């Protein structure tokens, strides 16, 4: 029987590799929370299987060709980017901000699709492949906010956002943002990750009515003034509602 701890470590390493364009063994070990020698051994084994690839010049790791083939096979079941692309394009065009689609994966959201807006100043917090815990960034906050209350309580019983993301992500602060999110329908990240970088997100629901994805807009603070947020929020909610309906057909 496979050792669960080994499987968990491999999974953590693959997610860490996927979150960066290329990364060193040391960076990946730190991101996965495992010792560097163990990380190097596992990375080498994954490379032998074609699941990751190593640049011979820099020694940095990236996702490999075998993962691409596996992902292509899984796309028929899990990929909604084809159904979301035109909605994302319209969001970016109508608002001028960069638009993103994130998917919930367990206790995280992962950005799976992006479209740059026309406004020249951009926030670079979000990019395809990056992961955030639920409650962090506008996508993670809006997904967490729309989970059943019992699921939210269970999440906070095992998650310690404050230790990794600072006092602004304490349970009490996050719960206050959840309350506001439920009142407005959309979540706002007022520069909590990078000063001056704002985001706003709306949940997309699956056929069972659970928040499985999120649409979000990001940009610089001057583009997300309080007087503009309701307009952006309404636009985002309309787009999220359209995508939710499309996915339920």
| Arithmetic mean of pLDDT over the chain | 91
The residue range of the domain holding 121 is 79-247
> In this model, does residue 88 exceed pLDDT 80?
yes
Whether residue 148 is found in the same domain as residue 185 = yes
pLDDT reading at 1 higher than 50: no
Looking at the structure, do residues 62 and 84 belong to the same domain, yes or no? no
| Same domain (yes/no): 186, 205 | yes
Q: What is the residue-wise DSSP string for 157-217?
A: HH--HHHHH-GGGSHHHHHHHHHHHHHHSSEEEESSSSTTEEEEEEEEE-TTS-EEEEEEE
Regarding whether 188 and 121 lie in a shared domain, the answer is yes
For the cut 70, the answer to whether the pLDDT of residue 77 exceeds it is no
CATH number, domain with residue 172: 3.30.450.40
Distance, in Å, from the CA atom of 155 to the CA atom of 209, rounded to the nearest integer, reads 19
- Does one domain contain both 64 and 83? no
The total number of structural domains that make up the chain: 2
Residue 185, sorted as left (phi over 0), alpha (psi -120 to 50) or beta, turns out to be left
What's the sign of the alpha-carbon dihedral 183, 210, 78, 111? positive
Please say which residue of 46, 72, 98 terminates a domain: 72
Same domain, 152 and 48: no
CATH number at residue 49: 1.10.10.10
Q: Are residues 49 and 85 in the same domain?
A: no
Whether residue 182 has pLDDT greater than 70: yes
Q: Are residues 88 and 199 in the same domain?
A: yes
pTM: 0.75
Same domain, 104 and 212: yes
Last residue of a domain, one of 72, 96, 128: 72
Q: Within a 10 A sphere around the Cβ of 137, how many other Cβ atoms?
A: 29
Tokens found for residue 52: 């990751």
Assign 118 a pLDDT band (cuts: 50, 70, 90). confident
Same domain, 43 and 106: no
| Same domain as 203, residue 144 | yes
Give the whole-number percent of the chain exceeding pLDDT 90: 72
The last residue of a domain, from among 22, 49, 72 = 72
Specify whether 122 is located in the same domain as 169: yes
Min mean pLDDT across 28-32, 78-82, 149-153, 218-222 is at: 78-82
To 10 degrees, the CA torsion angle through 231, 237, 238, 241? Answer: 180
Bridge-partner residues for 104, per DSSP?
A: 109
**Predicted local distance difference test score (pLDDT) of residue 128:** 86
């Amino acid at each position: 029987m496979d050792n669960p701890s080994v499987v968990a470590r491999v999974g953590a390493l693959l997610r860490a590799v996927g979150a960066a364009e290329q990364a060193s063994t040391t960076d990946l070990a730190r991101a996965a929370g495992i010792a560097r020698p163990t990380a190097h051994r596992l990375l080498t084994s994954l490379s032998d299987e074609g699941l990751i690839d190593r640049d011979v010049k820099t020694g940095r790791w990236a996702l490999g060709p075998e993962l691409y083939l596996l992902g292509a096979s899984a796309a028929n079941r899990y990929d909604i980017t084809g159904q979301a692309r035109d909605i994302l394009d319209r969001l970016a065009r109508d608002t001028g901000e960069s638009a993103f689609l994130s998917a919930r994966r367990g206790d995280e959201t992962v950005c799976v699709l992006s479209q740059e807006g026309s406004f020249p100043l951009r926030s670079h917090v979000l990019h395809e492949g990056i992961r955030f815990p639920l409650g962090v960034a506008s996508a993670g906050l809006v997904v967490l906010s729309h989970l059943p209350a019992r699921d939210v309580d269970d999440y906070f019983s095992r998650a310690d956002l404050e230790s990794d993301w600072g006092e602004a992500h304490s349970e009490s602060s996050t719960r206050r943002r959840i309350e506001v999110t439920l009142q407005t329908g959309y979540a706002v990240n007022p520069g909590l990750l990078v000063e001056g970088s704002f985001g706003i997100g709306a949940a997309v629901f699956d056929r069972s009515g659970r928040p499985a994805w999120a649409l979000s807009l990001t940009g610089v603070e001057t583009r997300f003034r309080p007087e503009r947020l309701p307009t952006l929020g309404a636009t985002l909610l309309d787009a999220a509602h359209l995508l939710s309906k499309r996915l339920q057909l």
